[in-house]
Amino acid sequence: MKPFFLLFMITLAACTQNKNEIKEFRASDPNFKYLGRIDKVLKEETCLVGSASSVEFIAKGKTIDLLLNAKGSEHNYISIEINGFYDKRYKILNSEEDTKITLNLSESINRIGIYKATEAASGEVVFKGIQAEELVPLPIEKRSTIEFIGNSITCGALADDTLVPCGQGVYHDQHNAYLAYGPRTARALNTNFILSAVSGIGIYRSWNDEHILVPIMPEVYENLYLNLDPKKKYVAEPAPDVLTICLGTNDLSDGDGLNPRLPFDGEKFTKNYIQFVEMLFKLYPRTKIALLNSPMVSAEKSAALSACLEKVKEHFEKEHVIRIFSFTLLQPGGCNYHPGIEDHKTMSEELIPFLKEFLHEPVKN
Protein backbone atom coordinates (compact mmCIF):
# COMPACT_ATOMS: atom_id res chain seq x y z
CA MET A 1 0.00 0.00 0.00
CA LYS A 2 2.81 2.41 0.79
CA PRO A 3 4.25 2.54 -2.76
CA PHE A 4 0.74 3.12 -4.17
CA PHE A 5 0.02 5.88 -1.64
CA LEU A 6 3.35 7.56 -2.39
CA LEU A 7 2.68 7.46 -6.15
CA PHE A 8 -0.81 8.92 -5.56
CA MET A 9 0.58 11.83 -3.52
CA ILE A 10 3.25 12.61 -6.10
CA THR A 11 0.66 12.64 -8.91
CA LEU A 12 -1.71 14.83 -6.86
CA ALA A 13 1.06 17.30 -6.07
CA ALA A 14 2.03 17.53 -9.73
CA CYS A 15 -1.57 18.16 -10.79
CA THR A 16 -2.05 20.78 -8.10
CA GLN A 17 1.14 22.57 -9.11
CA ASN A 18 0.24 22.68 -12.80
CA LYS A 19 -3.39 23.70 -12.32
CA ASN A 20 -4.25 27.36 -11.71
CA GLU A 21 -0.66 28.44 -11.06
CA ILE A 22 -0.69 32.11 -10.03
CA LYS A 23 2.03 34.41 -11.35
CA GLU A 24 2.85 38.04 -10.69
CA PHE A 25 2.95 40.50 -13.58
CA ARG A 26 4.61 43.83 -12.89
CA ALA A 27 3.44 47.20 -14.20
CA SER A 28 6.13 47.26 -16.91
CA ASP A 29 4.67 44.21 -18.68
CA PRO A 30 3.92 45.15 -22.31
CA ASN A 31 0.47 43.58 -22.09
CA PHE A 32 -0.72 46.43 -19.84
CA LYS A 33 -2.23 49.28 -21.85
CA TYR A 34 -2.06 52.78 -20.30
CA LEU A 35 -4.00 55.86 -21.30
CA GLY A 36 -4.23 59.41 -20.01
CA ARG A 37 -1.92 61.40 -17.76
CA ILE A 38 0.42 58.76 -16.38
CA ASP A 39 3.97 58.84 -15.00
CA LYS A 40 6.32 55.88 -15.20
CA VAL A 41 8.47 56.95 -12.27
CA LEU A 42 9.97 53.52 -11.67
CA LYS A 43 10.30 50.60 -14.07
CA GLU A 44 8.04 48.38 -12.00
CA GLU A 45 5.49 51.05 -11.06
CA THR A 46 3.21 53.30 -13.09
CA CYS A 47 1.50 56.30 -11.53
CA LEU A 48 -2.02 57.19 -12.61
CA VAL A 49 -1.95 60.98 -12.34
CA GLY A 50 -4.96 62.60 -13.96
CA SER A 51 -8.67 61.93 -13.62
CA ALA A 52 -9.69 58.71 -15.42
CA SER A 53 -6.08 57.85 -16.31
CA SER A 54 -6.15 54.12 -16.75
CA VAL A 55 -4.55 50.74 -17.19
CA GLU A 56 -6.33 47.97 -19.09
CA PHE A 57 -5.48 44.29 -19.58
CA ILE A 58 -6.85 40.82 -20.28
CA ALA A 59 -6.03 38.08 -17.78
CA LYS A 60 -6.76 34.39 -17.36
CA GLY A 61 -8.19 33.08 -14.11
CA LYS A 62 -11.34 33.52 -12.07
CA THR A 63 -9.35 35.17 -9.28
CA ILE A 64 -7.22 38.22 -10.03
CA ASP A 65 -5.39 40.32 -7.45
CA LEU A 66 -4.69 43.97 -8.20
CA LEU A 67 -1.68 45.54 -6.46
CA LEU A 68 -1.91 49.30 -5.89
CA ASN A 69 -0.75 52.06 -3.60
CA ALA A 70 -1.19 55.82 -3.35
CA LYS A 71 0.96 58.89 -2.92
CA GLY A 72 0.18 62.19 -1.29
CA SER A 73 -3.29 61.51 0.07
CA GLU A 74 -5.42 59.16 2.15
CA HIS A 75 -8.37 59.88 -0.12
CA ASN A 76 -7.56 58.33 -3.49
CA TYR A 77 -9.97 56.07 -5.34
CA ILE A 78 -10.14 53.89 -8.43
CA SER A 79 -13.08 52.62 -10.45
CA ILE A 80 -13.01 49.10 -11.88
CA GLU A 81 -14.50 47.95 -15.18
CA ILE A 82 -14.94 44.22 -15.83
CA ASN A 83 -15.69 43.01 -19.35
CA GLY A 84 -17.12 46.36 -20.32
CA PHE A 85 -19.30 46.78 -17.22
CA TYR A 86 -18.78 49.06 -14.25
CA ASP A 87 -17.94 47.16 -11.06
CA LYS A 88 -17.46 49.68 -8.25
CA ARG A 89 -15.14 52.21 -6.65
CA TYR A 90 -12.32 51.25 -4.27
CA LYS A 91 -10.28 53.36 -1.87
CA ILE A 92 -6.50 53.08 -2.32
CA LEU A 93 -4.41 53.64 0.79
CA ASN A 94 -1.15 55.52 1.11
CA SER A 95 0.64 52.83 3.12
CA GLU A 96 3.83 50.80 3.43
CA GLU A 97 1.76 47.79 2.40
CA ASP A 98 0.10 47.72 -1.00
CA THR A 99 -3.65 47.72 -1.30
CA LYS A 100 -4.59 44.32 -2.70
CA ILE A 101 -7.97 44.12 -4.41
CA THR A 102 -9.16 40.59 -5.14
CA LEU A 103 -11.58 40.17 -8.02
CA ASN A 104 -13.59 36.95 -7.91
CA LEU A 105 -14.88 36.48 -11.43
CA SER A 106 -17.36 34.20 -13.19
CA GLU A 107 -15.42 33.99 -16.46
CA SER A 108 -12.04 32.31 -16.99
CA ILE A 109 -10.75 35.11 -19.25
CA ASN A 110 -11.55 38.72 -18.31
CA ARG A 111 -10.86 42.20 -19.61
CA ILE A 112 -10.19 44.55 -16.70
CA GLY A 113 -9.90 48.33 -16.65
CA ILE A 114 -8.59 50.33 -13.69
CA TYR A 115 -9.45 54.05 -13.80
CA LYS A 116 -8.33 56.73 -11.39
CA ALA A 117 -11.54 58.14 -9.91
CA THR A 118 -9.86 61.13 -8.26
CA GLU A 119 -8.02 64.06 -9.83
CA ALA A 120 -4.33 65.00 -10.01
CA ALA A 121 -4.53 67.19 -6.90
CA SER A 122 -5.34 64.14 -4.74
CA GLY A 123 -1.94 62.58 -5.49
CA GLU A 124 -1.04 59.59 -7.64
CA VAL A 125 -2.51 56.12 -7.64
CA VAL A 126 0.43 53.74 -8.08
CA PHE A 127 -0.21 50.63 -10.15
CA LYS A 128 2.25 47.88 -9.16
CA GLY A 129 0.84 45.00 -11.21
CA ILE A 130 -1.45 41.98 -10.85
CA GLN A 131 -1.43 38.37 -9.72
CA ALA A 132 -3.19 36.02 -12.14
CA GLU A 133 -2.74 32.83 -14.11
CA GLU A 134 -1.71 34.59 -17.31
CA LEU A 135 -1.76 37.91 -19.14
CA VAL A 136 -3.25 37.85 -22.62
CA PRO A 137 -2.31 40.46 -25.27
CA LEU A 138 -5.06 42.98 -25.91
CA PRO A 139 -6.47 42.95 -29.44
CA ILE A 140 -5.33 45.74 -31.76
CA GLU A 141 -8.18 48.23 -31.90
CA LYS A 142 -8.29 51.36 -34.03
CA ARG A 143 -10.24 53.91 -32.03
CA SER A 144 -10.64 57.65 -32.13
CA THR A 145 -9.60 59.59 -29.02
CA ILE A 146 -11.54 62.35 -27.29
CA GLU A 147 -9.90 64.53 -24.66
CA PHE A 148 -12.17 66.34 -22.22
CA ILE A 149 -10.71 69.53 -20.71
CA GLY A 150 -12.53 71.11 -17.81
CA ASN A 151 -13.03 71.75 -14.13
CA SER A 152 -14.72 69.87 -11.26
CA ILE A 153 -17.70 69.01 -13.47
CA THR A 154 -15.42 67.19 -15.92
CA CYS A 155 -13.58 65.54 -12.97
CA GLY A 156 -16.79 63.95 -11.72
CA ALA A 157 -16.19 65.71 -8.41
CA LEU A 158 -18.79 65.33 -5.65
CA ALA A 159 -20.88 63.06 -7.90
CA ASP A 160 -20.70 59.73 -6.07
CA ASP A 161 -21.79 59.41 -2.43
CA THR A 162 -21.99 55.61 -2.41
CA LEU A 163 -18.93 55.20 -0.15
CA VAL A 164 -18.92 58.49 1.78
CA PRO A 165 -22.19 60.45 2.17
CA CYS A 166 -22.39 64.10 1.15
CA GLY A 167 -21.13 66.39 3.89
CA GLN A 168 -18.79 63.75 5.32
CA GLY A 169 -15.15 62.93 4.62
CA VAL A 170 -13.08 65.26 2.45
CA TYR A 171 -13.55 66.74 -1.01
CA HIS A 172 -12.08 63.82 -2.97
CA ASP A 173 -14.19 61.16 -1.24
CA GLN A 174 -17.08 61.66 -3.66
CA HIS A 175 -15.04 61.87 -6.89
CA ASN A 176 -15.82 59.38 -9.65
CA ALA A 177 -14.28 60.43 -12.97
CA TYR A 178 -15.26 57.12 -14.60
CA LEU A 179 -18.95 58.01 -14.29
CA ALA A 180 -18.53 61.65 -15.37
CA TYR A 181 -20.13 62.85 -18.61
CA GLY A 182 -16.93 62.59 -20.68
CA PRO A 183 -16.01 58.94 -20.13
CA ARG A 184 -19.69 58.00 -20.37
CA THR A 185 -19.91 59.71 -23.75
CA ALA A 186 -16.68 58.18 -25.03
CA ARG A 187 -17.72 54.66 -24.03
CA ALA A 188 -21.04 55.10 -25.82
CA LEU A 189 -19.13 56.16 -28.94
CA ASN A 190 -16.51 53.39 -28.54
CA THR A 191 -13.63 55.87 -28.39
CA ASN A 192 -10.62 56.31 -26.13
CA PHE A 193 -10.95 59.09 -23.57
CA ILE A 194 -8.52 61.35 -21.72
CA LEU A 195 -9.43 63.84 -19.01
CA SER A 196 -7.47 67.01 -18.28
CA ALA A 197 -9.50 68.61 -15.54
CA VAL A 198 -8.89 70.55 -12.33
CA SER A 199 -11.46 71.47 -9.72
CA GLY A 200 -12.09 75.20 -9.35
CA ILE A 201 -10.04 76.17 -12.41
CA GLY A 202 -10.96 78.66 -15.09
CA ILE A 203 -9.73 80.41 -18.21
CA TYR A 204 -8.67 83.68 -16.56
CA ARG A 205 -9.48 83.16 -12.84
CA SER A 206 -10.55 80.40 -10.48
CA TRP A 207 -13.81 80.09 -8.58
CA ASN A 208 -12.53 82.10 -5.59
CA ASP A 209 -9.32 83.79 -6.73
CA GLU A 210 -8.62 86.60 -9.20
CA HIS A 211 -5.59 84.77 -10.61
CA ILE A 212 -3.45 85.94 -7.71
CA LEU A 213 -2.60 82.69 -5.90
CA VAL A 214 -4.36 80.02 -7.97
CA PRO A 215 -3.29 79.09 -11.53
CA ILE A 216 -5.56 78.93 -14.56
CA MET A 217 -5.94 76.14 -17.11
CA PRO A 218 -3.76 77.75 -19.84
CA GLU A 219 -0.86 77.76 -17.33
CA VAL A 220 -1.12 74.13 -16.22
CA TYR A 221 -2.40 72.14 -19.21
CA GLU A 222 1.04 71.36 -20.66
CA ASN A 223 2.39 70.17 -17.29
CA LEU A 224 1.83 66.48 -16.56
CA TYR A 225 0.55 67.04 -13.03
CA LEU A 226 -1.76 69.93 -14.02
CA ASN A 227 0.10 72.32 -11.75
CA LEU A 228 2.81 74.96 -12.20
CA ASP A 229 5.67 72.45 -12.12
CA PRO A 230 7.12 72.36 -15.67
CA LYS A 231 9.68 69.60 -15.06
CA LYS A 232 7.43 66.93 -16.56
CA LYS A 233 5.55 67.93 -19.68
CA TYR A 234 2.41 66.42 -21.14
CA VAL A 235 1.28 65.81 -24.68
CA ALA A 236 -1.69 63.49 -25.21
CA GLU A 237 -0.80 60.05 -26.58
CA PRO A 238 -2.43 59.28 -28.92
CA ALA A 239 -3.18 62.79 -30.17
CA PRO A 240 -6.88 63.52 -29.68
CA ASP A 241 -9.12 63.51 -32.73
CA VAL A 242 -11.49 65.76 -30.80
CA LEU A 243 -10.89 68.09 -27.87
CA THR A 244 -13.81 69.34 -25.81
CA ILE A 245 -13.40 72.31 -23.47
CA CYS A 246 -15.89 72.85 -20.66
CA LEU A 247 -14.62 75.92 -18.83
CA GLY A 248 -16.25 79.11 -17.64
CA THR A 249 -18.26 78.04 -14.59
CA ASN A 250 -15.52 79.23 -12.25
CA ASP A 251 -14.73 82.39 -14.19
CA LEU A 252 -18.41 83.32 -13.83
CA SER A 253 -18.58 82.30 -10.16
CA ASP A 254 -19.33 84.89 -7.47
CA GLY A 255 -16.83 83.14 -5.16
CA ASP A 256 -17.46 82.48 -1.49
CA GLY A 257 -18.41 86.06 -0.65
CA LEU A 258 -15.39 86.42 1.63
CA ASN A 259 -12.59 87.09 -0.85
CA PRO A 260 -12.79 90.17 -3.10
CA ARG A 261 -14.51 89.32 -6.40
CA LEU A 262 -14.55 91.53 -9.49
CA PRO A 263 -17.37 91.47 -12.04
CA PHE A 264 -16.96 88.94 -14.85
CA ASP A 265 -14.65 90.32 -17.55
CA GLY A 266 -15.92 88.92 -20.85
CA GLU A 267 -13.17 90.57 -22.87
CA LYS A 268 -10.40 89.09 -20.74
CA PHE A 269 -12.12 85.70 -20.71
CA THR A 270 -12.37 85.68 -24.52
CA LYS A 271 -8.76 86.79 -25.00
CA ASN A 272 -7.42 84.09 -22.67
CA TYR A 273 -9.68 81.46 -24.24
CA ILE A 274 -8.40 82.30 -27.74
CA GLN A 275 -4.79 82.06 -26.57
CA PHE A 276 -5.51 78.68 -24.95
CA VAL A 277 -7.14 77.31 -28.09
CA GLU A 278 -4.19 78.57 -30.16
CA MET A 279 -1.88 76.57 -27.89
CA LEU A 280 -4.02 73.45 -28.32
CA PHE A 281 -4.07 73.73 -32.12
CA LYS A 282 -0.29 74.15 -32.04
CA LEU A 283 0.05 70.93 -30.01
CA TYR A 284 -2.52 69.03 -32.06
CA PRO A 285 -2.76 70.59 -35.55
CA ARG A 286 -5.26 68.02 -36.84
CA THR A 287 -7.63 67.99 -33.90
CA LYS A 288 -11.18 69.37 -33.89
CA ILE A 289 -12.35 71.41 -30.93
CA ALA A 290 -15.78 71.63 -29.33
CA LEU A 291 -16.50 74.50 -26.96
CA LEU A 292 -18.97 73.41 -24.28
CA ASN A 293 -21.06 75.76 -22.23
CA SER A 294 -21.70 75.26 -18.51
CA PRO A 295 -24.82 73.39 -17.33
CA MET A 296 -24.44 74.90 -13.85
CA VAL A 297 -24.85 78.67 -14.20
CA SER A 298 -27.86 80.98 -14.31
CA ALA A 299 -29.56 81.80 -17.61
CA GLU A 300 -28.02 85.29 -17.52
CA LYS A 301 -24.50 83.97 -16.99
CA SER A 302 -25.07 81.27 -19.60
CA ALA A 303 -25.90 83.95 -22.15
CA ALA A 304 -22.70 85.85 -21.28
CA LEU A 305 -20.64 82.66 -21.64
CA SER A 306 -22.27 81.77 -24.97
CA ALA A 307 -21.47 85.24 -26.33
CA CYS A 308 -17.78 84.73 -25.47
CA LEU A 309 -17.71 81.26 -27.02
CA GLU A 310 -19.18 82.62 -30.25
CA LYS A 311 -16.29 85.09 -30.48
CA VAL A 312 -13.76 82.30 -29.90
CA LYS A 313 -15.39 80.17 -32.59
CA GLU A 314 -15.44 83.10 -35.03
CA HIS A 315 -11.71 83.66 -34.49
CA PHE A 316 -10.79 80.11 -35.59
CA GLU A 317 -13.50 78.78 -37.86
CA LYS A 318 -11.90 79.86 -41.17
CA GLU A 319 -8.84 77.65 -40.63
CA HIS A 320 -9.99 75.02 -38.12
CA VAL A 321 -12.96 72.85 -37.31
CA ILE A 322 -14.44 74.35 -34.16
CA ARG A 323 -18.01 74.06 -32.90
CA ILE A 324 -20.12 75.09 -29.90
CA PHE A 325 -22.29 72.70 -27.89
CA SER A 326 -24.76 73.85 -25.25
CA PHE A 327 -25.92 71.65 -22.39
CA THR A 328 -29.38 72.14 -20.97
CA LEU A 329 -29.08 74.02 -17.68
CA LEU A 330 -29.65 71.68 -14.76
CA GLN A 331 -30.30 71.72 -11.05
CA PRO A 332 -27.42 69.52 -9.85
CA GLY A 333 -28.22 66.61 -7.58
CA GLY A 334 -24.71 65.75 -6.38
CA CYS A 335 -22.91 66.96 -3.28
CA ASN A 336 -22.35 70.68 -2.67
CA TYR A 337 -24.18 71.88 -5.76
CA HIS A 338 -22.31 69.65 -8.23
CA PRO A 339 -23.74 67.25 -10.81
CA GLY A 340 -24.56 63.81 -9.43
CA ILE A 341 -24.23 60.51 -11.27
CA GLU A 342 -27.67 60.84 -12.85
CA ASP A 343 -26.86 64.41 -13.94
CA HIS A 344 -23.71 63.19 -15.69
CA LYS A 345 -25.80 60.53 -17.41
CA THR A 346 -28.18 63.23 -18.66
CA MET A 347 -25.30 65.42 -19.85
CA SER A 348 -23.77 62.49 -21.69
CA GLU A 349 -27.05 61.62 -23.40
CA GLU A 350 -27.22 65.19 -24.70
CA LEU A 351 -23.59 65.23 -25.85
CA ILE A 352 -23.47 61.84 -27.60
CA PRO A 353 -25.35 62.78 -30.81
CA PHE A 354 -23.31 65.96 -31.23
CA LEU A 355 -19.94 64.24 -30.81
CA LYS A 356 -20.99 61.27 -32.93
CA GLU A 357 -21.48 63.62 -35.86
CA PHE A 358 -18.50 65.82 -34.98
CA LEU A 359 -16.09 62.86 -34.95
CA HIS A 360 -16.81 62.22 -38.63
CA GLU A 361 -16.44 65.84 -39.72
CA PRO A 362 -13.25 66.25 -41.82
CA VAL A 363 -10.45 68.51 -40.64
CA LYS A 364 -9.48 71.58 -42.68
CA ASN A 365 -5.70 71.24 -42.55
pLDDT class of 365 with cuts at 50, 70, 90: low
The answer to whether the beta carbons of residues 308 and 316 sit under 8 Å apart is: no
Closest by alpha carbon to 193, among 222, 227, 229, 150? 150
State in Å, rounded, how far the first CA of the chain is from the last one.
83
Q: Examine the pLDDT at 14 and tell me if it is beyond 60.
A: no
Q: Which amino acid, one-letter code, is at 285?
A: P
Could you read off the pLDDT of 59-118 as tens digits, one per residue?
999 999 999 999 987 889 999 999 999 999 999 999 888 999 999 999 999 999 999 999
**Greatest pairwise CA separation for the chain in angstroms:** 94
CB burial of 190-202 (b: ≥16 within 10 Å; e: otherwise) equals ebbbbbbbbbbbb
Residues 6+ apart with CB under 8 A from 113: 54, 55, 56, 80, 81, 82
The pLDDT of residue 73 = 78
